[in-house]
Amino acid sequence: MSTALGTLEELPEDYRAAMAEAGVAPLWPMMRNLLPHGAPKPVTASGHWSYPALRPLLLRAGDLTPVEKAERRVLVLSDPGRGAGAMLATPSIYVGMQLLLPGETAPAHVHTPSAVRIVVEGQGGYTVVDGEKLPMEEGDLVLTPGGEWHDHGHEGTEPVIWLDALDLPLFVYLEGSYATEGPLQAQRNRPDASQVEYLSAGLAPARRRGGGARRYPMMRYPWARTEAALREMARWAGDGPGNGPVEMDYVNPETGDDVLPTMGFTAMMLRPGEAQSPPRLSTSAVFHVVRGRGRSVIDGVTHAWGPKDVFTAPCFAEIDHLAEDEAFLVRIHDRPLQDKLGYYEERAR
Ligand code: 1HN
């Protein structure tokens, strides 16, 4: 039952002044703002960034600002609900498009937030995490978890662009965000763990007493394998629209847990003509289109998306996807965080 609570204005002027002077505030006029009835009232609004619009802006940043001056050359995707300059796309997720030009290196640093890269275009880019050199091929998901040293390099001939996703807004809110800079890392002379230790799903390096697995055993998730897995899932689910969502979560191959403590990643395949109306989720989300075209209606706003675009959804958004072509998307969300906090929820439509 909703009852009107007292307002600030109906309190005597002298009492309001005395409260402010004493450094206190009455809860009751703010109660419904802090705890809306039944569901949150997000500030976040659904946004859509078309890659053809972003790309020239990013390339121009390459002309204007050398990487030495920028450290990371990134255009941040600002939540339209918060307006120009917002350093976040949803309350928990920051995303930006980063450009690295041939021969450039982005210096090594380590920070408290975790980052994930999804490679958008270009060949020859790589990220080094804790000495492990991770090739960046289109669609690959590359982790740089909080507390791990990382730098980027580019051995190719054309610009490399990737999408960065970080749980930065949480760390900023917690006043826990900071970085330490250092020299470029020595690189181990062996392929990344996705090509050696975890080449095959269901197999992990033998566990010997005292030899525990690393907290983040696999830092690179090659797109070719993700796509192959989705296709196989789709094949056995039966072809054609209406056969349920074909989705796979990125997991830690040792534990089966989410890859990072706060951010989750789900690869989605939509068949040509397929419509999906998922339940309303308590999680906010960023969708990256790896390939394909379609349209998504999010809280009444229609986004017609194409390859490499990004669009977002606030928590509890009503979402309807429709694929025109065969489409592959990666959904970045905060379910791992909400699971830990104990309030993750799915509401049937
Ligand atoms: C960062 O470390 C990278 O390493 C990119 O490429 C974007 C945004 C905020 C804070 C740290 C990177 C970032 C970032």
Mean pLDDT by 10 residues, the chain (349 residues): 77 97 97 96 98 98 95 97 97 98 96 98 97 97 98 98 98 98 92 96 88 90 98 81 81 97 98 96 98 98 98 98 98 98 97
Does the C-beta of 163 come closer than 6 Å to ligand 1?
no
Strand order in the sheet with 115-121: 74-76, 94-100, 160-166, 115-121, 141-144, 220-221
- Return the HEC string of 100-112: ECCCCEEEEEEEC
What is the pLDDT at residue 209? 77
Does the C-beta of 167 come closer than 6 Å to ligand 1?
no
Range of the domain at 84: 48-205+214-347
Most informative mutation of 130, 150, 162, 164 for ligand 1 (most atoms within 8 A of CB): 164
Flag whether 5 is in a domain.
no
Flag whether 276 is in a domain.
yes
User: 119 φ, ψ to 5°?
Assistant: -75, 130
pLDDT in tens, 105-123: 999 999 999 999 999 999 9
Does the C-beta of 72 come closer than 6 Å to ligand 1?
yes
Nearest-angstrom CA–CA distance, 285 and 91 = 10
Nearest-angstrom CA–CA distance, 160 and 117 = 12
Nearest-angstrom CA–CA distance, 17 and 308 = 54
Nearest-angstrom CA–CA distance, 131 and 147 = 13
Flag whether 122 is in a domain.
yes
Nearest-angstrom CA–CA distance, 182 and 238 = 51
What is the pLDDT at residue 328? 98
Q: Whose CA is nearest to atom 8 of ligand 1?
A: 166
Distance 35 CA to ligand 1 centre (A): 33
Does the C-beta of 164 come closer than 6 Å to ligand 1?
yes
Distance 98 CA to ligand 1 centre (A): 9
Q: Which amino acid is at 319?
A: I
Distance 284 CA to ligand 1 centre (A): 21
Contact present, 168 and 112 (Cβ < 8 Å): no
Question: Shortest CA distance to 168 belongs to which of 144, 150, 152?
Answer: 144
Flag whether 17 is in a domain.
no
What is the pLDDT at residue 154? 98
Q: Whose CA is nearest to atom 6 of ligand 1?
A: 72
Flag whether 241 is in a domain.
yes
CATH of the domain at 177: 2.60.120.10
Q: 99 vs 103, 104, 135, 290, 297, CA distance in Å?
A: 12, 10, 16, 17, 30
Does the C-beta of 154 come closer than 6 Å to ligand 1?
no
Does the C-beta of 166 come closer than 6 Å to ligand 1?
yes
Does the C-beta of 234 come closer than 6 Å to ligand 1?
no
Flag whether 275 is in a domain.
yes
| Number of domains making up the chain | 1
Question: Shortest CA distance to 287 belongs to which of 145, 163, 106?
Answer: 163
Q: Which amino acid is at 244?
A: G
What is the pLDDT at residue 212? 79
The residue behind tokens 């054609």 is 240
Most informative mutation of 73, 74, 128, 263 for ligand 1 (most atoms within 8 A of CB): 74
Flag whether 142 is in a domain.
yes
Distance 96 CA to ligand 1 centre (A): 9
What is the pLDDT at residue 240? 53
CB neighbours of residue 198 within 10 Å? 20
Length of the chain: 349
What is the pLDDT at residue 1? 45
Does the C-beta of 150 come closer than 6 Å to ligand 1?
yes
Does the C-beta of 168 come closer than 6 Å to ligand 1?
yes
Flag whether 263 is in a domain.
yes
Nearest-angstrom CA–CA distance, 187 and 33 = 51
